Structure 1
């Protein structure tokens, strides 16, 4: 090889290696780029007090603060139509997002729709780049005057036109309570206790008063092994559940029943984790009107009807109950969950269930609660399996997981309950947090400071959320949702229960009589 040619080849290799190295460095820099976006948390806000917010979010958190600058536009005036917001925001170290609240100012004037629009301009970080969503907007409207349900109108809005006067009265009072207050309830409050300390309810041990609502379950009542004989364990459970429901009614409380129905093939389980693939795939479809287990399903509804028609209070009246079938249907842990039936199949069975109970079996002391879990963020997602206004009295949500997610989780709880509140207002229904809890297991899972009086209370009242009731899950021997007096968070629960708009049993109005 000639010397000159050798030098040329060597130079070429060096250049290639250098270029390759530079390209690798460039790719590394590109990989480190993080994107920032903005979204509106609701598309609408309204006067006088329905607020909203924007969320600015990073695709990956950083170990330093990130400041983003943006332009505020729209025909809504910053500082006049909503509380003034600056033209920059900071995402704190090791966090993913920050909120820009849009707090509406009521100017008492009827106006066209106004808009606030935010466009991201630049970021004070070389590795943070603007993403594809850099503009978001919120419309501000004038909220229509709220419809206030009157006692004489209540019977036109319940699902069952033949509902008893007491059931209609309960619907009316829950609707009215939701405007200013909410009832605090607990599942199995008269039969399940922390450390098995039976007697009065754990809530009464702590606050001096029973909950305003008692939760019960049709599970043991409809069990295949309930042979309705006095020595039968399941039948004895049925008698206890009925006795507790009667006690609650006689105290002026609300009764609500859910149903952990066992799958129809073996009658053993309701959690899909304990079921065979065949059972999971076929259980729900088999109890549809055309299914092989439909007659079995009707026999279980017959049992529910029998029990409901036997619940008589000291006043000689049928006791109204709220029935919450197929709860948490947007999850997949129950065999009636979204993975095991189509939306239309769910709707068909719900409608059959309501019609069979009220029309065929003559159950006239029942309100019907449609309750998802937390797996929705829009009206459309919540209503995907909604059977229609003629089949639902109460719009509910069960939510445990969001309460374990810090401030962002609490914001999500509030936003979801706001969806329920708005839908309930539109449809003349009642919104409710139908199940919730932060489970405390002493020595393992410790209390969260101010959980009841701040975290829970704020998330279910802020942003004009209006609920008829909320219900804690059961206390059991090892864990509690409601603390007893010896627990460190008992005072926090007392603060929650003593809020001016929370109602325990002693604070309830006469729920089963319509005002004149």
Structure 2
């Protein structure tokens, strides 16, 4: 966007225009930048825009501060940043290896925590993973980072997979309906929510205060690779499951340290389609989008398409007074794939900032032994990521503001 600088009173309408590094502001006055739209959200009314009006003070502050942050900056995060390393290198996060800084956002998953094989005993591998995840969340919170939980929930019949490619046709067609109230696996689903509630209600810092998290269940629901995908449940069934999940955690299990994130994949280009499975403003805090596909070939057209979709999400978040985010993205580099030139500093950055898009965070997917989404030090595209991390809008752990207290 261009800024207009007023010169003298006698030439009130004569302006000098210049490109702004922050594309989301227009105009200046003696006090600095002026946002184009008045701020509807205030410290006094913030709870009225949240899913949980009884949320903890820290969770309320997180909602308010992320919304304010998104006007000028975004948090940079990575899934499993403390445990997922390229070549299993270990040590500092791969992002810190590249930039000297940890991410501002840590992605975790309830998958192992709610696995059928997690029997809660110290020798159990799944329980050990649960403890590692909890320790990582506490470490991240201690560093003022934000914690986000996905949930790759295993299907309720065999409890072995979340991918429809590994399920029978009957399982695919019946799994989602079976977890709804009255369904044959509804009690099974409630037991999984009981486990999540237990973890969240015991997730406390050194001062015994509950740690806020962003929870994004049933993500990428517009695709068909997960058993909660659009081919396997109606819009009304999806909304019902979401509403039940929130009500059960919030009202039955008294979980009050959660912001709830709506996170389809990238198939929705219009607000009408995006909202086709939307459970309602009373059940959503974060409007997200996962998007790998539009960035996959590195084309300028793909970046423009991604930006248009994020613009749609951002505008909806402004209208509904919610938080907008790029909830998953990236491009995996392996021994068989080369990096995309300027993937971070140009493609991701442009998609996230052009056309007055306001996003609170971006989450890159996890690194592992065989590939990376965030390049550690020494890779051919490490400097590309460093340039992205050094953008004025990018926030890593060393510059993350206090998001857990009201200003």
Fold shared by both chains (TM-score > 0.5): yes
Q: Does 1:461 align with 2:353?
A: yes
- 1:449 aligned residue: 341
Whether 1:431 aligns to 2:324 is yes
- 1:414 corresponds to which of 307, 324, 335: 307
Matches within 5 A, 1:146-185: 146-185=38-77
Matching residue of 2:9: none
**Pairing 1:479–2:371 present:** yes
* Structure number with bigger Rg: 1
Cα displacement string for residues 233-279 of structure 1 (whole angstroms, at most 9, x for unaligned residues):
00000000000000000100000001000000000010000000111
Paired position in structure 2 for 1:265: 157
1:282 to 169, 174, 180: 174
Deviation at 1:157? 1.3
Task: Note the C-alpha offset of 1:144.
Answer: 7.9
Q: Return the alpha-carbon distance in structure 1 between the equivalents of residues 274 and 207 of structure 2.
A: 39
> Which residue of structure 2 lines up, in the alignment, with residue 344 of structure 1?
236
Find out whether 1:310 has 2:202 as its counterpart.
yes
Where structure 2 has 5 or more consecutive residues not aligned to the other structure, the ranges are: 4-16, 18-25, 28-34
Q: Distance in 2 between matches of 1:368 and 1:508?
A: 21
TM-score by length of 1: 0.72
1:327 is aligned to 2:215: no
How far does residue 301 in structure 1 lie from its aligned partner after superposition?
0.2
SS of structure 1 residue aligned to 2:95: helix
SS in 2 for 1:398: strand
**Which protein has the bigger strand share?**
1
Alpha-carbon distance, 1:310 to partner? 1.0
Q: Cα RMSD over matched residues?
A: 1.9
Deviation sequence 1:439-492 (CA, Å, 0-9, x none): 1113x1001111111111111110111100000000000100010111011111
User: Shift in Å at residue 377 of structure 1?
Assistant: 1.1
Partner of 1:297: 189
Q: Deviations over 1:264-314 (max 9, x none)?
A: 000001000000011100000000002000000000000000000111112
CA distance in 2, matches of 1:285, 1:511: 38
- Greater Cα shift, 304-313 or 398-407: 398-407
Shift of 1:146: 3.4
Alpha-carbon distance between aligned partners in 2 of 1:145 and 1:247, rounded to the nearest angstrom: 37
Q: Which residue of 1 aligns with 2:121?
A: 229
Q: Distance in 2 between matches of 1:482 and 1:223?
A: 28
Distance in 2 between the 1:207 and 1:314 partners?
Answer: 28
Secondary structure of 2:133's counterpart equals helix
Higher RCO (C-alpha under 8 Å, 6+ residues apart): 2
**Structure 2 match to 1:247:** 139
> Could you say which residue in structure 2 is the equivalent of 1:382?
274
For each residue in 1:304-353, what CA deviation from the matched residue of structure 2 results, as whole angstroms up to 9, or x when unmatched?
A: 00000111112321000000000000000000000000000000110000
Per-residue deviation, 1:199: 1.2
Shift in Å at residue 161 of structure 1? Answer: 1.0
SS at match of 1:431: strand
Write the distance in 2 (CA, Å) between the matches of 1:469 and 1:314.
26
Shift of 1:148: 4.3
Residue 199 in structure 1 maps to residue 73 in structure 2: no
Counterpart-to-counterpart distance in 1, 2:369 and 2:2: 47
Identify the residue that residue 373 of structure 1 maps to in structure 2: 265
Moved more, 330-339 or 309-318: 309-318
Distance 2:36 2:354 in 1: 20
Q: Does residue 1:501 correspond to 2:393, yes or no?
A: yes
Deviates more, 1:250-259 or 1:155-164: 155-164
Unaligned runs of 5+ in 1: 1-46, 50-82, 84-105, 108-142
